[in-house]
Amino acid sequence: MTLKSEIENILNQARKDISSCKNLSDLENLKVKFLGRKSRFSELLKRIGKLSSEERPIIGKLLNKSKSEIENIIEKRRNSFENTVNNSEHTFDITMPGRPIEIGAKHPVFQVWEEIEDIFISMGFEIAEGPEIENEYNNFDALNTPEWHPARNLQDTLYLKNGMLLRTHTSPVQIRVMKNFKPPIKIISPGRCYRNDKPDASHLPVFHQFEALVVDVGITFADLKSTLDSFVKRFFGEKIRSRFRPHFFPFTEPSAEIDMLCINCHGKGCKLCKNSGWLEMGGAGMVDPAVLENVKFDSEKYTGFAFGLGIDRITMLRYGISDIRTLFKNDLRFLKQFV
């Protein structure tokens, strides 16, 4: 092989290697390989003095030209790499997958809360609210709950200073509404309640309830029953009925505990309803005449019904959640299901 063709071969190889190299460090290695002190090129340059006087200028020129060509293409390749790096750092690469934007959502309990409101609004109810910090009178006395009643025990109620407390139910809103409005009254009042309960699968010291109160001339137990039944059917489906079991509440007479047909087994008996076929929902009854008199309503003229249901409980049933604590752990993996 002549010197000339050897130089051309090296040049061709360099062009090929440099254009196909993949990154800056490979490029550095190629520079050493083709132009470094131990490269064939350097060897040839060193030997140039030993060439004949005819060959020397031709080969010398060719070597210099080739060397600067290799330097050039290395430089170009380096620039192209650096530009790509710069591009991805400083400009917008539309081919890159975007960073997802996290979308928030209402908490499942509040989604259910609003759905309940919608159902009752469609039945002609209004929404009433009351404070979570209540006085003893509204939370207990006006609701015909005397001092000696177990519900007033320190164990259940979280007392604050100066006779104030964290309301233990939404029933004090009944009193507030009746003190401020005349019959006909037809309200629900959803809200947060507090009890000194140890957290377990079905209790939390903070929970959500909604109260319904209807007071007018001629309101009967049948109105109570049909209102509850309509709600349960609208919320859980046509097949679900409600039933009453006799009970006692100081502020209603007669009183009942409300069950609804198990949404899982429809009465056959399963794990969810502990084989009873029914699920406990809350309390209800006809407003005790003593309560009506406390707010200066004529209990000979007016009658009313009231009930209170747990919103957390309803949410758990809707979504098949067996432990109430799941709702309020703020675990995003759980909450993301409700987006």
Kindly indicate which of the ranges 15-23, 96-104, 114-122, 276-284 contains the residues binding ligand PHE, using the contact rule CB under 6 A: 276-284
Does the footprint of ligand PHE cover residue 281 (CB under 6 A)?
A: no
Picking from 201, 263, 274, 269, the residue whose alpha carbon sits closest to that of residue 236 is 263
Rounded Cα gap, residues 311 and 71, in angstroms: 77
Kindly indicate which of the ranges 115-123, 130-138, 199-207, 279-287 contains the residues binding ligand PHE, using the contact rule CB under 6 A: 279-287
Minimum CB distance to ligand PHE, residue 336 (Å)? 32
Does the footprint of ligand PHE cover residue 282 (CB under 6 A)?
A: yes
Which pair of tokens denotes residue 325? 């604590």
Does the footprint of ligand PHE cover residue 297 (CB under 6 A)?
A: no
Residue with tokens 């132009």: 35
Q: Which is nearer to ligand PHE, 284 or 327 (CB)?
A: 284
Kindly indicate which of the ranges 33-41, 215-223, 304-312, 314-322 contains the residues binding ligand PHE, using the contact rule CB under 6 A: 304-312
Kindly indicate which of the ranges 56-64, 71-79, 109-117, 281-289 contains the residues binding ligand PHE, using the contact rule CB under 6 A: 281-289
Q: Which is nearer to ligand PHE, 171 or 242 (CB)?
A: 171
Does the footprint of ligand PHE cover residue 284 (CB under 6 A)?
A: yes
Q: Which is nearer to ligand PHE, 191 or 308 (CB)?
A: 308
Q: Which amino acid is at 102?
A: E
Pairing mode of beta strands 185-194, 126-127:
parallel
Rounded Cα gap, residues 71 and 65, in angstroms: 10
Q: Which amino acid is at 59?
A: I
Q: At what angle do helices 55-90 and 24-35 cross, to 10 degrees?
A: 170
Given strand 303-310, what is the order of strands in its sheet?
126-127, 185-194, 206-216, 303-310, 278-287, 252-261, 242-249
Q: Which residues of the chain form contacts with ligand PHE (CB under 6 A)?
A: 169, 171, 211, 249, 252, 282-285, 306-308
